[in-house]
Each structure stands twice: as structure tokens, then as C-alpha cells.
A = this chain, B = another copy of it.
């Protein structure tokens, strides 16, 4: 099955918005085993959109459209695509009612109501996060057409909850994918280690990089889900054997999700004390629904005074070593354990940039400490290679903190430059 994505929106051609929709859809198609051969972007221009849709219907088995389903007059995707596919638009009453409910009004404006007009005979894809429904239908030549709304927060759930199940019905085979998540080894060396495993046809193995982490996707095709699963298992076991503790999960798709899960299983709690990450670690932990059971308190102590006051970081430590030092990171982690009464505490301090670096303490230098109230480990992140962004440094520091907690909770050695036992410090 050959697929094509057309993303609609002048804002994409102006570079005001990055086309994340195309990447989200592309990944879902890849997981379904559907070959994506083309993606393109068209502005809010009926003539060019018509041309692109006609070309796609002619050459592809599946066309996914993103964007242009909204209430304004430049939202033209439905009208143009339906016309190109030889379909009329008809009012879909349940969608109109959803829109009325959304606004708590019996009579919504004509613009809003326009969203409930859909191609005749289509399968409606409900929008649980906005007003514009999506739809799926077939053009006269058999090309399947799916339309999804532009905002990623509406597109992603609609895609995964309604469009993917719709596509799965028409597939002969079941495809099962498992993602083996890795922290602490990059995509290139991991790919090299797995080189001899990459040529398989069923299951297949592919490496992906992802914001300072990487993962290997194992995919198998079979008549049943169970058969496909059984094809994946030996390859997953071999990957784990080769990578050991660097594998942090199969299918738990973030370090924060895993850490919340492990804390919950072990009845432990975690607290955070952040400086340069500014609440990002706390935010990532609380992204996980149910984190309130294991995460009771976090503090962002940007100013030195806040570090002293909230965490009891000794004034002398800040004076002697500076805010960006292993000593301060340690004092922050130990301070938040004391202040919160949690089992574990993390302290992060560093220079996220782009300002504030010096030759001795360059942008990207970040210390991360983990304390269990008895032992404390401190790791150091140094800037390597060329300049990275503030976001990058912050994200990687938060990830490394999560990995330290993950290793601690999994009984693996916590990788650290410094380890402090009780009152004694040792260099690991």
C-alpha cells in the first residue's frame, strides 16, 4: 500500500509552523507497514490544492490530508478534496450536535457549523479535543482518503484512536511493533552494535534517535497479533543481552513514565530541586497521570537565596564552590530529601545558556545529584562538540536525572563521577 500526505496551510509555507503533523502521521503509517512515498505542503489555495489532491488520488492507494478543516473561510480542505474525489458534502447531524455542545449553545455560527459538513457516505472520525471532525472515505478509483485536523493536539488522538483502527481493518496482516528504549548510548553506536541484526525481513529492526535518547523498533508481520509478538521476542532478548543496563524499557516510552511506574511499584517517593532546568523535571514527572502518588514536592531554586532558604544549601558551599558545582548539586539533593521527607531527592544545577557561560564553567556544564538520604551520587554533563540549544541542555539534564533514579530503583549501579556515602566522599 503506497501512501501520500498532503498538509494544507499557508502558515506552513511561511515557515510560521513546523510540520509536526506530517511526522506524526508518517510514523503511524510506518508502524502499520504502509509505505509513505510522498509528502507535500500546499497553501490555502484551492487551485493548487486541487492539483495536488488529483495527483495523489491518481498515484497513491492512501491519501492522508492534514489541516484546513476549521471554521474560517480559508479552511478549504474538505470542499476541495471532496470535489476532486467526486463527492458532495452533507450535514452530519451528530457532529453538529458535538459542536453545539462544545460551545454550550444551541445555535452556533455558520462558520462553526460548516465543520459538520462532510463527504457523503464517509466514516466520521470524532474529534475529542476540538470542534472539527475528521473523516475517511474512498475516491471513485479506490484511493482511500483520510482527513485530519491541523492542530497536533487534535490530530494525534484522532489518528491513534480512530484513523489507525480504521486503516487496520483493511489490512490483511497484523503488524506488531515493540520499541526497545535506550538511554546512555547514541543511535550511531547502537546501530553499529546491531548491524548484523538489521537485515532481517520479519521481524525488522530499525534504530531511531529521539531527543538525546534512542530506541530500536522491532516489527513483525503475521496473521495474528500473538504470532507477530512471538516473532519479535527473540530479537528483543538479543538486543537486551547486547545492551544490558542501557535498555531502560520495552514499550514504556519515556524515562519519566518508567520512573513513576517503578516508584509506584516500590512504594517510594521522589522530590526534585532544580536550578537550570527550571521546573522541567517536575513538569515531566507530572506529565504522567497518577504521578501525585509518588511525587509530592518539587522546587525551582533559581536564586542562591532560594537554595539556602528552601533547601538549606550552606552559604559557605555556594561561596566556596559556586552555584554550579558538584557540592551544590549534592546539597540540593540532600536538602530536598530533608525538606520533603521523600525517599529520593534529585538536585540539578548548571548553565543552560545561551548566556552565562565562562571559560571555566561553559554553557552546557550541568551537575546532577541523586540522594537517598544516606548515599548521594553526582554526575557531570559537559558540553561536547558544537553548540547545542538551551532546550537541549535542559532536556538532557532532566533525562539524565531520571536515568539515575531509574538505575537506582532497578538495582543497577548509578553511573556517577562522585559518590558520597553518609559523610564520606569517594570518587567513583
Binding site for B on A (CB under 8 A): 10-20, 22-30, 36-43, 45, 48, 52, 70-74, 98, 101-104, 109, 111-112, 128-129, 151, 153, 157, 177, 179, 187-188, 191-192, 198, 206-209, 211, 217, 272, 274, 276-283, 285-287, 289-292, 295-303, 305-306, 309-310, 339-340, 353-356, 384-392
**Smallest CB-CB separation from A175: which chain B residue?**
B14
A40 to B23 Cα, complex, angstroms:
13
Q: Are A280 and B278 in contact (CB under 8 A)?
A: no
A10 to B12, CA, bound (A): 21
Q: CB distance A302 to B310 under 8 Å?
A: no
Which B residues are in CB contact (< 8 Å) with A287? 278, 390-391
For this chain, the copies found in one complex come to 2
Q: Please give me the residue from chain B that is nearest to A299 by CB atom.
A: B299
The answer to whether B289 and A71 have CB atoms under 8 Å apart is: no
Q: Are B12 and A23 in contact (CB under 8 A)?
A: yes
Do residues A355 and B209 form an inter-chain contact, with CB atoms below 8 A? no
Give the nearest-CB partner of A276 in chain B.
B286
Contact A384 B14 (CB under 8 A): no
- A280 and B30 CA atoms in complex are apart in Å by 32
Task: Report chain B residues within 8 Å CB of A73.
Answer: 191, 198
Q: CB-CB < 8 A to A71: which residues of B?
A: 187-188, 191
Interface SS of A by simple majority: mixed
B residues near A26, Cβ cutoff 8 Å: 12-15
Q: Quick check: A353 and B289 within 8 Å, CB to CB?
A: yes
Please judge, given known A-B contacts A18-B23, A19-B23, A39-B13, whether A299 and B296 are in contact too, CB under 8 Å. Answer: no
A29 touching B15, Cβ below 8 Å:
yes
List of B residues within 8 angstroms of A17 by Cβ: 23, 208
Say whether B303 contacts A297, CB under 8 Å: yes
* Contact assessment for B302 and A295 in the assembled complex, using a CB-CB cutoff below 8 Å: yes
Contact pick for A355, options B198, B289, B303, CB 8 Å: B289
The answer on a CB contact under 8 Å between B111 and A192 is: yes
Residues of B within 8 A of A188 (CB): 70-72, 109, 111-112
